[in-house]
Amino acid sequence: MGRGGEPRRVQPHDGELAAAVARAQEGDEAAFAVAYRLVQPGLLGYLRGLVGDDAEDVASDAWLEIARDLGRFRGDGAGFRGWTATIARHRALDHLRRRKVRPQATTLEQDVLELPGPQSTHEQALESLSTEYALELVRGLPRDQAEAVLLRVVVGLDGPAAARVLGKRPGAVRTAAYRGLKRLARQLGAEGVTDEAPRTLGESK
């Protein structure tokens, strides 16, 4: 991965997702159901990391807004995943404010970490992120790291897309994801985790 950026993260179903969104924007309800089926698992995992057991309720609120504003969306499948994650995040933060739970304040370091060593990801540590236990571990991370890991690994966004959702610089989000995954790997008894998530994670649940 060079300093000039990183390749756009493409998920296996992004072509199908883009086609479904385009048809849904023309009023095809079955196509909207397809888009929902492709996006919901990752979105729900992200929300579980933010609001725990209230994730289903927050996701329902987010999907109401997504359906209402669908006509305004412009972009491809990866763009749709980022757009829905942004809406879900806003609903989650609203939910936390209503419950008077202040999200944990963190200070994002402004340096971009140069990642040394091999770029292979320890499959065991990341695959376990689909489990409830791992989501609990993620929730124990500093908030910037937790959100970066959830957006990169569970939702499947690339660095720039995750940065747009969080309103941060891509380098800062990459650093937070790397540190979060490294910390998770230590907790899960694995070593050698980098910020590169396996392409297979989150494809199907």
pLDDT digits (tens, 9 = 90+) for 129-173: 556 777 788 888 888 999 998 898 888 898 899 999 999 999 999
- Higher local confidence (pLDDT), 192 or 168: 168
Q: What is the rounded CA–CA span in Å between residue 154 and residue 147?
A: 10
| Residue 120: predicted pLDDT | 37
Q: What is the rounded CA–CA span in Å between residue 112 and residue 122?
A: 22
Question: For 32-89, what is each residue's pLDDT tens digit?
Answer: 999 999 999 999 999 998 888 899 999 999 999 999 999 999 999 999 999 999 999 9
Q: What is the rounded CA–CA span in Å between residue 179 and residue 195?
A: 8
Q: What is the rounded CA–CA span in Å between residue 104 and residue 40?
A: 25
Residue 202 has pLDDT above 80, yes or no: no
Residue 196 has pLDDT above 70, yes or no: no
Indicate the pTM of the whole model.
0.70
Residue 90 has pLDDT above 60, yes or no: yes
Residue 189 has pLDDT above 80, yes or no: no
- Higher local confidence (pLDDT), 16 or 10: 16
Which of 4-8, 90-94, 191-195 has maximum average pLDDT?
90-94
